[in-house]
Chains A and B, each alone.
Chain A
C-alpha cells in the first residue's frame, strides 16, 4: 500500500462520529435510580390514567424478579440499573403548541442532524416526530394527517387524547412479561410514537420519528405503537443518533405493530446511535424488542433495518403471522466496525394457513467487530401450506472480524416449505484494485462494494432514505481497512 493510501486511511480513522455533539439545554432530569416512586413520578408527570400506572407497576414488580439475561455471542459490561436516570425532559412548562414555541436550541439540534422540522423546509411528503431524550418535541404535518383521519402523535399525547386505543392495544404484542428489557421498558417508558391508520386509509405521506439521546447518564425507553386498521397502509421510518460519551448508555425500546384484515405496515429503521470509539469506550447499548402482529387475513408487515451504530445491538424484529395468507418480511443490514457487536435477526411465527415470510439478512463486519444473525422460523400445526425463504449473507472486511449465523427452524406440519441460503464472502484485494484502477479511491470503493452487497435491502427503503442509508454505510466504514 502506498504512503498516500496510508495517509488517507489514517485521516479517515481519525474522523469522528459526525453526530457526537451535545446540546446545552435546560432539562429536568430525575436523579438516578429505579423504584416504585420513580415510576409513580413518571406517570404523574404525564398525567396518566390509572390503568397505565397499574400496568407500569405490575411490569416493575415482574422485572424485579428477573435476572439480567446472558448471551452467548455478546460481551457486555454489567449494567448498574440504579445509576441510570429514567427520565429527562427539556425544561418547558407546557408541551409546545407550534414550532414557534419550541426552544430554538432544540430546533437547531435537529437542523444539525439534517432533520429540518420547519414544515416548509421538509422533505416533501414526510411527516416527522422528533423525540429529544425522553420527550417528543414536535410532530409536523399534523393537520394534513388529521384530514385523512390518521393519528400520528407522541405516545404521551395519545395517552391523553386516545386512551381507549392505548388501553386496547398496549402490551398486546409485546407483553411486559416478554423479556427483561420489555419489562423494564413497560415500567419506565417515557414517550414514543403512536400511529393509528383508520379503515380504508392509505396514509398520504411517509411517517418518521427521529430519536436523539442528549443527557448524560440517562437511559432512553420509548415505546412505539402502530395500528393499521382494515384495508389501510402506512410506511414508517425511524432514525436515531446520540452524542459521544465515554460511558455506555442504555436504549431499551419496545415497538408493537398490529395489522388488521388486508392492512400493511412497512417499518424501516436507520439506526445510527453512537457506536463508541476505536478502543470500544462508550457507545449505546441498543436492546430493543420489536414485534408485529399480522392479526388480519391478507395483512402484511415488513421490517427493514439499517443498523450501523451502537456499541451493542440486540434486536429481533419479528412477525406473528396469525391471519390467513398474511405475510412477514425482514430485510436487514447490520454493519459493525471497530469493537462493535451486533446480535440481530428475526422470528417468523407462522400460525395461520398459507402464510409467507421472507428473511434477507446482510451482515458486514470490519476490524475486530462481531456480527451475529440469529433467527427462528416456526410453522405451527395450523400453518398449513406456509412458506419461508431465508437468505443470510455475511461480508468480512479484514481478517479480525467475525460473522456468525444461527438460523433455527421449528416445523409442526408437513405441507410447509422452508428454503435457506447462506454465504460468507470477503472484499478481495482484486475487487479493490479493480475499482481503484477505474479511478475510485479505496474508501469509495469499499462503499460501492458494500452497497452492491446490500442491494436487495437498500431497495426496500423509501427513496429519500436510501440515499441517506448508503451515505451512512460509507461513513461508518471509514477506517475499515488499515
Chain B
C-alpha cells in the first residue's frame, strides 16, 4: 500500500472566508486510516468552519489551498457526493426537520448511499433490525425513532442521534463537532462507547472538543490546538490534560 492510499484526509495550506471575513489561515492537516485526531481550541477559532468546509457547506469559500478526501480533490464535489464517499459530519447544532420521522430520514440517507454504490434499496426488515439494535446500543427509546428529526429533542438526544446516524451510515471519516458538549457523564460514556465501536483500521475520526474527559475515553493519536484559523500545536493526550489545567493562554502567548 502506498502512502497515498493510507491517507484519508489531506488538507494543504487551506484558507477559507465567509461573508468576506478570513476564518481559516493556511491550515495543514493529514489524517491517516485508523487514526483518531482531536482538535481543541478557543471559541471562534474556526473549528466548526473547518468541519463545514470539509463537508462542503456553500457559505464557506476556499480562497486558497486544497482538500483531498480519499485522494480525491473535493473542490468541485457536491455535499451529498462527499457524504456518499464516506464523509460524516456530526453537527455541533443538529438541525430540526419537523414532521419527517427520524426513521424515514435515516432510511433515505442509507438508500442514497446505496444508490451511489449501485446497490438496491435496503430491505425494510434489515433496516429496522439494524436501527433497533443501534438505538438500543445508544440507550435511545423506540419512540424516539418515529419522532421528527431532532424535533423537540433535548441537547443530549440530539447528540446521541448524530452518533446513531454515524453508526448506521458507517463512514470512512467522521468529524464530530462538539458532540460531547452539554452531555452528562452517562451520556458522554454512551457517546464515547458508540464512537469507539465504530473505530476500525480503515476509518478515522476527528473529534472537536473542549474537554479532555471525552478524550480520556477515546485516547486520540493526536491532539491539535487550533487558534486563529490554524493549528498552532500538536501533541497527544498529555497535551489535552495540560490544556485542561492551564487553558489556552500560555500557548497563545508563547506564540
A binds B: yes
Q: Which A residues contact B (CB, under 8 angstroms)?
A: 1-5, 428-431, 433-442, 444, 448-449, 451-456
A250 to B186, CA, bound (A): 65
Is A439 a contact partner of B99 (Cβ separation < 8 A)?
no
A439-B116, A442-B80 are known; give 17 further A-B pairs, CB within 8 A. A2-B76, A4-B78, A430-B95, A435-B97, A435-B109, A436-B80, A437-B80, A437-B83, A437-B89, A438-B106, A438-B165, A438-B169, A440-B109, A441-B112, A444-B108, A449-B100, A452-B99
Is A441 a contact partner of B97 (Cβ separation < 8 A)?
no
With CB as the reference atom, state the residue of chain A lying closest to B81.
A4
Contact of A437 among B79, B96, B100 (CB under 8 A): B79
Is B108 a contact partner of A448 (Cβ separation < 8 A)?
yes
B248 contacts the other chain (CB 8 A): no
**A226, chain B: closest CB distance, angstroms:** 31
Contact of B100 among A5, A429, A442, A451 (CB under 8 A): A451
With CB as the reference atom, state the residue of chain B lying closest to A362.
B99
Is B98 a contact partner of A452 (Cβ separation < 8 A)?
yes
Q: Mark B96-116, 1 if CB is under 8 A from A, else 0.
A: 111111001110110011001
25 contacts between A and B (CB under 8 A): A2-B56, A2-B77, A428-B95, A431-B96, A433-B55, A434-B91, A435-B105, A435-B109, A436-B56, A437-B55, A437-B79, A437-B91, A438-B165, A439-B80, A440-B109, A441-B78, A444-B108, A448-B97, A448-B108, A449-B100, A451-B99, A451-B100, A452-B97, A452-B101, A452-B149
A444 to B76, CA, bound (A): 20
- Chain A interface helix/strand/loop/mixed: helix
Contacts A4-B77, A433-B79 hold; do A440 and B112 have CB atoms under 8 A apart?
yes
Chain B residues positioned under 8 Å from A434 (CB to CB): 91, 94-95, 97
Contacts A439-B109, A440-B108, A448-B105 hold; do A433 and B100 have CB atoms under 8 A apart?
no
Residue of A4, A428, A442 with highest tally of chain B CB at under 10 A: A4
Chain A residues positioned under 8 Å from B84 (CB to CB): 439
**B168, chain A: closest CB distance, angstroms:** 10
A438 to B166, CA, bound (A): 9
Q: Which B residues contact A (CB, under 8 angstroms)?
A: 55-59, 76-81, 83-84, 88-89, 91, 94-101, 104-106, 108-109, 112-113, 116, 148-149, 165, 169
Chain B residues positioned under 8 Å from A433 (CB to CB): 55, 57-58, 79, 95
A232 to B205, CA, bound (A): 62
**B214, chain A: closest CB distance, angstroms:** 22
Top 9 closest pairs, chain A to chain B, by CB = A452-B100, A452-B99, A436-B79, A438-B109, A455-B99, A439-B83, A434-B95, A439-B112, A436-B80
Contacts A440-B109, A441-B112 hold; do A453 and B79 have CB atoms under 8 A apart?
no
Is A1 a contact partner of B58 (Cβ separation < 8 A)?
yes
Chain B residues positioned under 8 Å from A439 (CB to CB): 80, 83-84, 109, 112-113, 116, 169
A452 to B78, CA, bound (A): 24
Contacts A439-B83, A455-B99 hold; do A4 and B76 have CB atoms under 8 A apart?
yes
With CB as the reference atom, state the residue of chain B lying closest to A455.
B99
Contact of B99 among A2, A3, A4, A454 (CB under 8 A): A454
Chain A residues positioned under 8 Å from B112 (CB to CB): 438-441, 444
A3 to B58, CA, bound (A): 12
Is A453 a contact partner of B95 (Cβ separation < 8 A)?
no
Chain A residues positioned under 8 Å from B96 (CB to CB): 431
Contact of B148 among A4, A442, A452 (CB under 8 A): A452
Residue of A5, A428, A441, A456 with highest tally of chain B CB at under 10 A: A441
Contacts A438-B83, A448-B104 hold; do A3 and B76 have CB atoms under 8 A apart?
yes
